[in-house]
Chain A
Amino acid sequence: MSFQSDHFTLERTIVASPASVWTAFFDAEARSIWSPPSPDEVFEVLEHDPRDGGTGLHRCGPISDPTFMVETRYHKVDDRRAVSFTELVRKGETPLAVAQIGVNFASSEAGTRLTLDVFTTSFVGDGMLAGTRGGWATSIENFAHYVEDRT
């Protein structure tokens, strides 16, 4: 089977300072709240080390069967301004997809302009591409509300 890839950009203005947005984005407890795209899903942070060369490990999926493991590798963390990382999704020992994600945190008149660039390659067909695109779109909306509700 050939690779299948998808590339998309999400932009969202958040009414909070870049410092607040940055802190919330990297807070493990916060991410477990804003990351699940629906109330029926869970995102459990098992390891979390967001620094240059650091790694993370998350378990996610339906609450009844959260079998997806997400291995994060942080390549570049530029304090309060930008981060670049990869996320490998696997089920058991089978790799399903990998995404390279870049996030810019820019100061704007309203607060923070968040720009998320996601390039995904699926190893198992286009279902993972749609899931990644839809998941991030919902998660970033959740994230914006999470931050604004606490500002």
Chain B
Amino acid sequence: MTIEYGDFTLTRTIGASPASVFRAFAEEDLKRQWFVNSDGPDWATKSYTLDFRVGGTERGAFRLEVGPGAGMHENATTYFDIVEGQRIAYAYSMAWDGRVHSTSLVTVQFDAVEAGCRLTYTEHGAFFPPSDGADMRKGGVTAQLDALAAQFS
């Protein structure tokens, strides 16, 4: 196995205060709405927990019923740095049918702008083939952030 790497940055301007957008990452009920419940009809959520604090974890298990990615997908997140209303840093791994195929270091920045909140999401991924890779991961996170923005529209 040779590790492959990929980076991407996504930004969204959301019409809400940075504190409000931050809460959508910090509170389990709010995060479920865009992170879990926005998945398509072929996804079944088997479990999801969020312990949002430095050293805390997030765990999710999601089954995709059809298609080439069918199977059980699990994420495991550890939070490293949290500044209320301003920024979050965490690492997460993704596993498919029990095999870890990627790990990523993520930062999320919440900046006040005239229109509300400028959110900047940066991910550095290490992918262990076979894996989805940086391009597909970027597509998945793009869909999640679209769902997040829609939550405030």
Residues of A within 8 A of B (CB): 1-3, 5, 7, 52, 73, 75-76, 78, 81-82, 84, 86, 88, 95, 98-100, 102-104, 106, 117, 119, 121, 123
Contact = CB atoms under 8 A, between A and B. Distances in A.
A100 B124 contact: yes
B2 interface: yes
A104 B2 contact: yes
B103 A123 contact: no
Nearest to B3: A102
A114 B128 CA distance: 17
Contacts of A84: 3, 103, 126, 128
Given A84-B128, A102-B3, A95 B80 contact: yes
A86 B103 contact: yes
B10 interface: no
Contact of B104 (A95, A100, A123): A100
Contacts of B122: 3, 5
A3 B109 contact: yes
A82 B3 contact: yes
A78 B1 contact: yes
A56 B126 CA distance: 20
Given A76-B103, A98-B89, A123-B89, A117 B1 contact: no
22 contacts: A2-B87, A2-B109, A3-B87, A3-B109, A5-B122, A7-B124, A75-B91, A76-B93, A78-B1, A82-B1, A86-B91, A98-B105, A100-B91, A100-B104, A100-B105, A100-B126, A102-B5, A104-B2, A117-B3, A121-B89, A121-B107, A123-B81
A117 B4 CA distance: 10
Given A76-B100, A84-B3, A104-B2, A121 B105 contact: yes
Closest 10 CB pairs of A and B: A100-B105, A75-B103, A119-B124, A102-B3, A102-B126, A98-B80, A3-B107, A78-B1, A84-B126, A86-B91
Contacts of A99: 105
B28 interface: no
Nearest to B105: A100
Contacts of B89: 3, 98, 121, 123
Contacts of B83: 1
B7 interface: yes
Interface string B98-126: 00100111010100000000000010101
A117 B2 CA distance: 12
A76 B92 CA distance: 12
A95 to B, nearest CB: 5
A84 B100 CA distance: 11
Interface string B1-29: 11101010000000000000000000000
